[in-house]
Protein backbone atom coordinates (compact mmCIF):
# COMPACT_ATOMS: atom_id res chain seq x y z
CA UNK A 1 0.00 0.00 0.00
CA UNK A 2 2.76 2.37 0.92
CA UNK A 3 4.53 1.71 -2.36
CA UNK A 4 1.36 2.38 -4.34
CA UNK A 5 0.74 5.62 -2.48
CA UNK A 6 4.36 6.67 -3.01
CA UNK A 7 4.02 5.95 -6.73
CA UNK A 8 0.87 8.04 -6.84
CA UNK A 9 2.54 10.88 -4.97
CA UNK A 10 5.63 10.81 -7.17
CA UNK A 11 3.60 10.71 -10.37
CA UNK A 12 1.49 13.66 -9.23
CA UNK A 13 4.55 15.65 -8.20
CA UNK A 14 6.32 14.96 -11.47
CA UNK A 15 3.18 15.38 -13.59
CA UNK A 16 4.30 12.52 -15.81
CA UNK A 17 1.31 10.30 -15.52
CA UNK A 18 0.28 8.33 -18.50
CA UNK A 19 -3.36 8.39 -19.53
CA UNK A 20 -5.24 6.02 -17.25
CA UNK A 21 -2.21 5.41 -15.03
CA UNK A 22 -3.85 6.93 -11.97
CA UNK A 23 -6.98 4.83 -12.44
CA UNK A 24 -4.85 1.70 -12.88
CA UNK A 25 -2.97 2.48 -9.71
CA UNK A 26 -6.22 3.19 -7.90
CA UNK A 27 -7.68 -0.12 -9.13
CA UNK A 28 -4.57 -1.93 -7.96
CA UNK A 29 -4.86 -0.19 -4.60
CA UNK A 30 -8.51 -1.28 -4.31
CA UNK A 31 -7.53 -4.84 -5.28
CA UNK A 32 -4.77 -4.89 -2.66
CA UNK A 33 -7.20 -3.56 -0.07
CA UNK A 34 -9.60 -6.41 -0.90
CA UNK A 35 -6.79 -8.93 -0.52
CA UNK A 36 -5.78 -7.33 2.76
CA UNK A 37 -9.38 -7.50 4.05
CA UNK A 38 -9.56 -11.20 3.12
CA UNK A 39 -6.29 -11.84 4.94
CA UNK A 40 -7.56 -9.98 7.99
CA UNK A 41 -10.75 -12.06 7.99
CA UNK A 42 -8.67 -15.21 7.67
CA UNK A 43 -6.44 -14.08 10.55
CA UNK A 44 -9.49 -13.44 12.75
CA UNK A 45 -10.93 -16.87 11.86
CA UNK A 46 -7.61 -18.54 12.61
CA UNK A 47 -7.43 -16.67 15.91
CA UNK A 48 -10.84 -18.04 16.87
CA UNK A 49 -9.80 -21.55 15.86
CA UNK A 50 -6.58 -21.21 17.84
CA UNK A 51 -8.54 -20.10 20.90
CA UNK A 52 -10.92 -23.07 20.54
CA UNK A 53 -7.95 -25.40 20.19
CA UNK A 54 -6.44 -24.03 23.40
CA UNK A 55 -9.72 -24.62 25.23
CA UNK A 56 -9.90 -28.17 23.87
CA UNK A 57 -6.29 -28.82 24.86
CA UNK A 58 -7.16 -27.82 28.42
CA UNK A 59 -10.13 -30.22 28.38
CA UNK A 60 -7.91 -33.02 27.02
CA UNK A 61 -5.29 -32.29 29.68
CA UNK A 62 -7.94 -32.51 32.42
CA UNK A 63 -9.26 -35.77 30.97
CA UNK A 64 -5.73 -37.16 30.84
CA UNK A 65 -5.26 -36.29 34.51
CA UNK A 66 -8.59 -37.95 35.34
CA UNK A 67 -7.54 -41.08 33.43
CA UNK A 68 -4.19 -41.18 35.24
CA UNK A 69 -5.96 -40.90 38.59
CA UNK A 70 -8.33 -43.72 37.63
CA UNK A 71 -5.41 -45.88 36.48
CA UNK A 72 -3.69 -45.28 39.80
CA UNK A 73 -6.85 -46.22 41.72
CA UNK A 74 -7.31 -49.34 39.56
CA UNK A 75 -3.72 -50.37 40.22
CA UNK A 76 -4.28 -49.97 43.96
CA UNK A 77 -7.53 -51.97 43.77
CA UNK A 78 -5.75 -54.67 41.76
CA UNK A 79 -3.04 -54.91 44.41
CA UNK A 80 -5.62 -55.11 47.22
CA UNK A 81 -7.57 -57.82 45.36
CA UNK A 82 -4.44 -59.80 44.57
CA UNK A 83 -3.48 -59.70 48.25
CA UNK A 84 -7.00 -60.76 49.28
CA UNK A 85 -7.00 -63.66 46.78
CA UNK A 86 -3.59 -64.82 47.99
CA UNK A 87 -4.72 -64.69 51.63
CA UNK A 88 -7.94 -66.56 50.76
CA UNK A 89 -5.96 -69.32 49.02
CA UNK A 90 -3.67 -69.62 52.03
CA UNK A 91 -6.71 -69.83 54.31
CA UNK A 92 -8.23 -72.58 52.13
CA UNK A 93 -4.93 -74.52 52.24
CA UNK A 94 -4.85 -74.29 56.01
CA UNK A 95 -8.52 -75.41 56.25
CA UNK A 96 -7.79 -78.43 54.00
CA UNK A 97 -4.78 -79.35 56.12
CA UNK A 98 -6.89 -79.08 59.27
CA UNK A 99 -9.58 -81.35 57.80
CA UNK A 100 -7.00 -83.93 56.70
CA UNK A 101 -5.21 -83.80 59.98
pLDDT tens-place string over residues 8-51: 666 666 655 566 766 777 788 888 889 999 999 999 999 999 99
Q: Burial of 38 by CB count in 10 Å (0-12 exposed, 13-18 middle, 19+ buried)?
A: exposed
Q: What is the pLDDT of residue 8?
A: 67
Whole-structure pTM value = 0.56
Q: What is the pLDDT of residue 19?
A: 63
Instruction: Compute the average pLDDT of residues 50-76.
Output: 98
- The H or E element spanning position 15 is none
pLDDT tens-place string over residues 86-97: 999 999 999 999
CA-based max dimension of the chain: 124
Amino acid sequence: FRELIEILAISRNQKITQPGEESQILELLIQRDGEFQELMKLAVDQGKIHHEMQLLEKVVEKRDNDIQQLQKQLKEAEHILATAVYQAKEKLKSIEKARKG
